[in-house]
Amino acid sequence: MSELMWFRNDLRVRDNPALSAAMEAGPTVAVFCVSTHQWRSHDVGDIRLAFLLRSIEALRAELEKLNVPLRVLNTPRFSQVPDALVALCKTLGTQRIYYNDEYPLNERQRDVSTDKRLATIGVTSIRSAGTVILPPGDVLTGDARPYTVYTPFRKRWGEHVHAGAIAALPVPTPQKTLPIESDPLPDDIEGVSSVLMADEWPAGEVIAQELLERFIDERGRLYKDQRDLPGVKGTSTLSHHLSVGSISPHACLRVAAAANDGQLRGNNEGLNTWVNEIVWREFYRHIIAQFDHVSKGASFRRDYDSIKWRQSPDDLAAWQKGETGYPLVDAAMRCLNATGWMHNRLRMVAAMFLTKHLLIDWREGERYFMNQLIDGDFASNNGGWQWSASTGTDAAPYFRIFNPASQGKKFDPKGLFTRRWVPELAGVPDKFLFEAPTREGTSYMEPIVDHKHARQRALDLFKAR
């Protein structure tokens, strides 16, 4: 008889409350369910699948140190998970299963179904909140409603959370070896090999912890000043590890606080600003947990579902390929397509260009980003797209429309990032790079839409909704 730890997007042994609870209760076996068809239906792309495979491989290596065998179940769709876990529990003689909550609607429905099925054979589900600092429902307004604006959410969240509340969970003590073998991991998922971009994106909690500490030591104090500059390595590049849970938000906050007077808001504004970004991540998780329509493809602000978005496959394709005639937008999209990652400032610029300049439905962009990003995460991706499209929580007002040329001059003034990804512009002087790059006789394309015209068109559309 053994405890069963069900891993999902919490692929680590450190700071994992569900794993700690299981191993404290008794001999533990771990399980991971490979739900490829379901992930694909959620627009998870090749690079994200490959990174997931590597993260599971790294997790298994850590579990081996604890003598915890890892079973791997093939459950192509979430609907197949309950029966598969019931069968495993019967085989192992399990009476308790442990897991950390996930918050998108399909995942919550899977968990409800699983809990009910397991209960029929006498298995108890023990749930933890290992992917957020405070679970949804713990941060509410005075009249017990969810927050829909970030700033008051951040203030109330801060009233509950302090440095002492995010103490590290110790790594569990290794257990006695069990007479149970780990399952072999798949070499690929639907033909996607774990070696895809493995050198560029190494996986596992050891790598993630090293990245975190290096960021805090070397760049954290400059984060406020450098985070918007794509030509500078100014961000933590931890988002892909957070997306699969190879590092916890608790660890991020602990290390930041330790370097900032022991406080989550200390004297260093760079670290304070980075902590705010972790809280934004929390905020979007609370939103999807408490407003089901967001997981169903609807605008958070339902009145914006009446917008008549343009249907333009050619413009959408130009945006996807980085061929819009706007250097910063094109550099961002080409970087995404080549590396699976995009700087956060550029995510906003690219998203607002698609939704405001081209008036293409934000869902098209959300879907494309999710398919291309190594850090594809439904809550954060959806939240960012709806912010840019002015349809979401705490969104940019519809009349805020980034000028891509102004954004380029402000955040990439020397073109360090832009010229790297749009080499056609290598010889264009700085003063023409973003405003009139084609006047220098390059092979670069003309803009597919005029900014002034596009801005007025967007204002008219949003006013008429």
Using CA of residue 139, residue 144, residue 148, residue 150, what is the dihedral sign? negative
Catalytic residue among 309, 323, 337, 371: 309
| DSSP assignment letter at 295 | G
Tell me which of 157, 280, 387, 421 is the catalytic residue: 280
C-alpha dihedral (82, 63, 258, 161), degrees to nearest 10: 20
**Residue 366 bears catalytic tag:** no
Q: Which residue type does 334 have?
A: R
Tokens of residue 320, six digits: 């996807």
Say whether 280 is catalytic: yes
Q: Which one is catalytic: 319, 341, 385, 421?
A: 385
Q: Which position among 341, 362, 387, 421 bears the catalytic label?
A: 362
Give the Cβ contact number of residue 177 at 10 Å.
10
Give the Cα separation of 191 and 376 in Å (integer). Answer: 19
Closest Cα partner for 224 from 258, 149, 275, 156? 275
277 is catalytic: yes
Which of 337, 344, 371, 424 is labelled catalytic? 344
Give DSSP secondary structure letters for 364-408.
Answer: HHHHHHHHH-TT--HHHHHHHHHHHHT-STTPPPTT----HHHHH
Dist. CA 56–CA 71, nearest whole Å: 11
Give SS3 for 206.
helix
Q: Please give the structure tokens belonging to residue 349.
A: 């610029």
Would residue 6 show up in a list of annotated catalytic residues for this protein? no
- Bin 122: left if φ > 0, else alpha if -120 < ψ < 50, else beta: left
Pairing of strands 192-193, 188-189: antiparallel
φ/ψ bin of 80: left (φ > 0), alpha (ψ from -120 to 50), beta (otherwise): alpha
What six digits make up the tokens of 343?
């700087």
**In this structure, is the dihedral angle defined by the CA atoms of residues 137, 140, 145 and 151, taken in order, positive or negative?**
negative
Helix (H) or strand (E) run with residue 5 in it = strand 3-7
Residue 393 tokens read as 């929580």
* Annotation says 39 is catalytic: no
Known active-site residue 387? no
Rounded distance, CA 351 to CA 343, Å?
Answer: 12
Judge whether 434 and 405 are in contact, CB under 8 Å.
Answer: yes
Which of 57, 213, 269, 277 is labelled catalytic?
277
DSSP 427: T
CB within 8 Å of 129: residues ≥ 6 apart = 17, 100, 101, 135
- In one-letter notation, the amino acid at residue 418 is T
Which residues are known to be catalytic? 277, 280, 309, 344, 362, 385
